[in-house]
């Protein structure tokens, strides 16, 4: 019996490690490679019409992680759906969607549901911090976010996750989305930040500011998971700064059913393999299954 096997909203995951949206771009080839070891993979966020994104530089490799303002560059949904037909399906695929209105999200779900021959999930991007009118700005409006989730849930049988931000009023937002039937909450996206070049005396990113990811945001994302576990019943997917198996365990003990990994893939394509092997060793040493540990840090506080 695989001690890492996890169930997430009806999806069977061989382990709780999920590729976070965006870091591997929009190529199905990269998703196929990561899916060999990851429990699930999330695509780059995609919209109805696609977007060119910002001009370079769009990603800074900073000492505690990355700062990016790619600007949600992606192909149009119909084109991307065609590419995803070559997904090998070694792990469940989650398609990350962004848009501006409930209708657009409904159209996106219909496009992928009619094109893809295998079951899949959706992650609704309510949290990208650097595109005006999308992502984070939608999540700030709790009513609109709830309307988007209602529209998506009404159009698909596949599981739907909402990806929100530590910068949101995340407890209130997550409770509202749970109330309209979202299947899981992913928290967090990148958090707003910037870097200035001291020689040119200008912001480095072409968009001036971007989203900070990696080690710098881990304690913040971890606290969000811990807080949400006390407030909602649906599964939580932790995301932010995971680079080691200890980080994965912290998120699970805080209450995450699964954990997403983004920036760490930038440094090592083998990260999923090495995390998985270390987690297996941990479960053997402590004679436990990974899903028994979800939220266990709360027991020690309460008991
Ligand atoms: C280069 C890059 C591109 C990203 N693109 C997306 C995206 O398209 N949609 C999204 O929801 N999150 C996107 N993210 C955010 C990640 O999915 C993740 O939420 C964030 O990086 C925190 O996780 P990490 O610290 O493990 O990287 C991107 C992050 C990076 C670094």
> Ligand 1 centre from 284 Cα, in Å?
32
Give φ, ψ of 122 to 5 degrees.
-125, 145
Whole-angstrom distance, CA of residue 127 vs CA of residue 39 = 23
Give the CA radius of gyration of the chain.
18
- Chain segment 196-228, per-residue pLDDT in tens: 999 999 999 999 999 999 999 999 999 999 999
Task: Quote the pTM value.
Answer: 0.97
Substitution candidate for ligand 1 out of 17, 18, 20 with most atoms within 8 A of CB: 20
Average pLDDT over residues 134-153: 96
The whole-number pLDDT of residue 73 equals 83
Q: Is the CB of 44 inside a 6 Å radius of any atom of ligand 1? A: yes
Strands 202-203 and 196-197: antiparallel
195 within some domain: yes
Q: Is the pLDDT of residue 302 over 70?
A: no
Q: CATH number for the domain including 108?
A: 3.20.20.70
What are the tens digits of pLDDT across the range 271-291? 999 999 999 999 999 999 999
Beta strand ranges found along 90-208 (DSSP E)? 93-97, 121-125, 160-164, 184-187, 191-194, 196-197, 202-203
If one compares 166 and 266, the residue with the highest pLDDT of the two is 166
What is the band of 135 on the pLDDT scale with cuts at 50, 70, 90? Answer: very high
Name every residue whose Cβ is closer than 8 Å to that of residue 39 and which is 6 or more positions away in sequence: 4, 6, 13, 14, 15, 16, 17, 18, 91, 92, 258
Question: How far apart (Å, rounded) are the C-alpha atoms in residues 55 and 185?
Answer: 31
**Residues 6 or more apart in contact with residue 64 via CB below 8 angstroms:** 214, 215, 216
The percentage of the chain sitting over the pLDDT mark of 90, rounded to a whole number, equals: 87
Q: Is the CB of 297 under 6 A from ligand 1?
A: no
Does the Cβ of 66 fall within 6 Å of ligand 1? Answer: yes
Residue 29 pLDDT greater than 80, yes or no:
yes
- pLDDT the model gives residue 303: 53
CA 190 to ligand 1 center in whole angstroms? 6
Q: How far is the CA of 298 from the centre of ligand 1 (A)?
A: 28
- 5-17 average pLDDT score: 97
Question: Where is average pLDDT lowest: 64-73, 137-146, 268-277?
Answer: 64-73
**191: in domain:** yes
Q: Which atom number of ligand 1 is nearest to the Cα of residue 241? A: 25
3-state secondary structure of 258: strand
Residue 112: the pLDDT is: 97
Residue in 9, 128, 224, 239 annotated catalytic: 128
- Residue 284, domain member (yes or no): yes
* Domain total of the chain: 1
> Residues with Cβ < 8 Å from 34, sequence gap 6 or more?
19, 24, 41, 265, 269, 272
Distance CA 140, CA 129 (A): 11
Alpha carbon of 215 to ligand 1 centroid (Å): 13
* Residue 180 Cβ < 6 Å to ligand 1: no
User: What digits encode the pLDDT tens for the residues 118-132?
Assistant: 889 999 999 999 888
Residue 30 in domain? yes
How far is Cα 164 from Cα 177, in angstroms, rounded to an integer? 10
- Residue 26 Cβ inside 6 Å of ligand 1? The answer reads no
Q: Is the CB of 95 under 6 A from ligand 1?
A: no
- Please write the tens of the pLDDT for every residue from 146-176: 999 999 999 999 999 999 999 999 999 999 9
Q: Is residue 157 situated within a structural domain?
A: yes
How much is the mean pLDDT over the chain? 95
First to last CA, the chain: 30
Residue 68 pLDDT exceeds 70:
yes
pLDDT of residue 167: 97
Atom of ligand 1 nearest to the CA of 125: 11
Answer yes or no: is 1 within a domain. Answer: no
Cα of 116 vs centre of ligand 1, distance in Å, is 24
The verdict on residue 247 lying in a domain is yes
Torsion-angle region of 65 (φ positive above 0: left; ψ -120 to 50: alpha; else: beta): left
User: Known catalytic residue: 128?
Assistant: yes
Sequence-ordered alpha helix ranges (H) in 13-100? 28-35, 77-83
Paired residues of 93 in beta bridges: 41
pLDDT band at 53 (very low <50, low <70, confident <90, very high): confident
What pLDDT score was predicted for residue 192? 96
Give every strand in the sheet of 191-194, ordered side by side: 59-62, 65-68, 209-213, 191-194
The answer to whether residue 194 sits within a structural domain is yes
Q: Is the CB of 253 under 6 A from ligand 1?
A: no
Residue 126's domain comprises: 6-302
Whether residue 296 is predicted with pLDDT greater than 80 in this model: the reply is yes
Q: Which pLDDT does position 131 carry in this prediction? A: 83
């Amino acid at each position: 019996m695989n001690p890492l096997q996890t169930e997430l909203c009806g999806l069977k995951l061989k382990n709780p490690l999920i590729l976070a949206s965006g870091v591997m771009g929009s190529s199905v080839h990269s998703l196929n490679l990561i899916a060999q070891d990851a429990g699930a993979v999330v695509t780059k966020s995609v919209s109805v019409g696609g977007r060119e994104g910002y001009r370079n530089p769009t990603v800074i490799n900073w000492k505690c992680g990355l700062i990016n303002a790619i600007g949600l560059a992606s192909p149009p949904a119909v084109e991307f759906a065609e590419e995803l037909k070559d997904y090998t399906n070694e792990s469940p695929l989650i398609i990350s969607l962004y848009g501006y209105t409930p209708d657009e999200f409904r159209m996106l779900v219909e496009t992928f549901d009619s094109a893809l021959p295998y079951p899949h999930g959706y992650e609704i991007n309510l949290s990208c911090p650097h595109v005006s009118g999308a992502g984070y700005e939608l999540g700030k409006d709790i009513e609109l976010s709830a309307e988007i989730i209602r529209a998506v849930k009404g159009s698909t049988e596949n599981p739907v996750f909402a990806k929100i931000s530590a910068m949101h009023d995340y407890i209130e937002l997550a409770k509202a989305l749970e109330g309209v039937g979202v299947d899981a909450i992913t928290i967090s996206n990148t958090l707003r930040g910037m870097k200035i070049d001291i020689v040119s005396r200008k912001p480095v990113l072409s968009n001036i500011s971007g989203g900070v990811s990696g080690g710098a945001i881990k304690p913040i994302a971890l606290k969000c998971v811990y807080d949400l576990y006390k407030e909602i019943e649906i599964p939580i997917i932790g995301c932010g700064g995971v680079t080691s198996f200890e980080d994965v365990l912290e998120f699970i003990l805080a209450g995450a059913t699964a954990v997403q990994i983004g920036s760490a893939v930038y440094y090592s394509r083998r990260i999923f393999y090495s995390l998985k092997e270390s987690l297996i060793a941990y479960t053997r040493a402590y004679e436990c299954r990974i899903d028994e540990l979800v939220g266990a840090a709360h027991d020690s506080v309460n008991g």
